[in-house]
Amino acid sequence: MLDTLFGNNPESSGLLVVGSVAALLGAHLVLSFILRSFKRDGYKSFGFVSDAASLLSNSDSVLGRNGVKASVANYEGLFSGARNKVGTTSTEDSIKQREKEYATMVSSFYDLVTDFYEWGWGQSFHFAPRLKGETFEESIYRAEHYLALRGNIQPTSKVLDVGCGVGGPMRNIQQFTGADVTGVTINQYQVNVGNQYCAQKGIDHKCRLTQGDFQKLPEKFEAGTFDVAYEIEATCHSPDRKICFSGINHCLKKGGLFMGYEWVVLPETGYDENNPDHVRVKEGIEVGNGLPTLATSQEVIHALEESGFEVLDAFDANKNVHSDREIPWYETLRGSFTLSGFRMTHIGRLCTHCIVSTLEFLKIAPKGSVRVSALLNATALDLVEGGKEEIFTPSYFFLARKK
């Protein structure tokens, strides 16, 4: 190739090598400057390229630069054999190991993926039913406001957000209702980030994140502290929903409402545990999202009832996913070729992967970043397949009242 470009002139070849090295050094300097100048802004999303330099490598991170590779290796160890042989991670021993190690697994998972979620998705880490003519952002707000409506959240309400992420939904609900909202997440990095955003929006006196394990809520809050509690695609991480829901019940006043959206497989619309393709999709969703195992909708209802709740309403909010009036919830993962939607497309995710690979090669991003990107790319395909086949939903809605 060099001979084609420059003939047999070694001087020209040498200049090419020097120029290439200079270009790499220049790129390294530019990206290093971008990284140092990165500042979080609660009012806008990450920039497409500029803020990519901050992924897994910023001042808020609880992982040191040498900690990412080890963390992703430990996480992958809990899903040994995943995507290599169907059924491997659905064995009783495999599930029990993840249930035993859930706290480390979930916290490690969000140490690794929080930046990627926020960079590609925004501050609300969840899906939503979407009507035709509705933007992605509008569907997210509508799903959150629907919870506030069904929970009758008032300006005087004290509200608990169970598994709050970086607090996008709690800030939206607080600003929508005026309520006092406390969010709990097991991940300290999310607490660090989310409280910055609350302060930037001037609502930190009414809206705050705290580190805690939602399997141990009675250790954190006195009985009857809250009027309302909700979770959005969070308790799917629970190794035992009865323990989790019982803790939420403890925190609520008598008659208090608890509502949420759950990730479930759907036997009622076709999921078959004896179908290898269905199991493959289920396991792919689990490994890519830090889940011990996916439950069915009936298992969620049973856990609520066993935890002291009366279930008032329950349905799949995506039941009309393929009607001519809705845009499928998973369509966002396929994305649209717009300025805001491109990074969610398959090609956009490949571009992200290339950017992260370059940053890791230049030693801007920590070692292990590429493996995190690959993990999320793979699970996006599983989520799309699960949605298309209607064997999975991320939006099984429930409304329950403390007896």
16 and 76 housed in the same domain: no
180 and 329 housed in the same domain: yes
Long-range contacts of 359-365 (CB under 8 A, 24+ apart): 359/31, 359/52, 359/53, 359/55, 362/24, 362/27, 362/28, 362/31, 363/28, 364/28, 364/31, 364/32, 364/35, 364/53, 364/57, 365/53, 365/55, 365/56, 365/57
Query: What's the pLDDT score for residue 82?
Result: 86
Instruction: State both tokens at 123.
Output: 């501050």
DSSP 219: G
Bridge partners, 131 (sequence order): 326
pLDDT tens profile 20-63? 444 444 444 444 444 455 677 777 766 655 566 666 667 777 66
CATH assignment of the domain containing 378: 3.40.50.150
Alpha helices in 38-167 (DSSP H): 67-77, 92-100, 102-121, 136-150
The helix/strand/coil state of 307 is coil
DSSP 311: E
CA pair distance 196, 194, nearest whole angstrom: 5
157 and 12 housed in the same domain: no
Its sign, for the CA torsion 309, 310, 312, 317, is: positive
Burial class (CB in 10 A: 0-12, 13-18, 19+), 175: middle
Query: What's the pLDDT score for residue 111?
Result: 85
378 and 270 housed in the same domain: yes
Query: Which parts of the chain register pLDDT below 50?
Result: 1-7, 14-35, 337-339
60 and 30 housed in the same domain: no
20 and 72 housed in the same domain: no
Predicted TM-score of the model (pTM): 0.86
CA pair distance 45, 47, nearest whole angstrom: 6
120 and 232 housed in the same domain: yes
Query: What's the pLDDT score for residue 248?
Result: 98
323 and 256 housed in the same domain: yes
Q: How many domains in the chain?
A: 2
Beta strand 392-402 with 309-316 is antiparallel
Which residues are within 8 A (CB) of 31 and not within 5 positions of it... i.e. 6 or more apart?
Answer: 53, 359, 362, 364
123 and 9 housed in the same domain: no
248 and 391 housed in the same domain: yes
Query: What's the pLDDT score for residue 7?
Result: 47
192 and 338 housed in the same domain: yes
Query: What's the pLDDT score for residue 51?
Result: 63
Domain that includes residue 174, residue range:
43-403
174 and 200 housed in the same domain: yes
- How far the first Cα of the chain sits from its last, in Å, is 76
Cα separation values, 289 from 249, 284, 294, 399, Å = 26, 9, 10, 24
Query: What's the pLDDT score for residue 22?
Result: 46
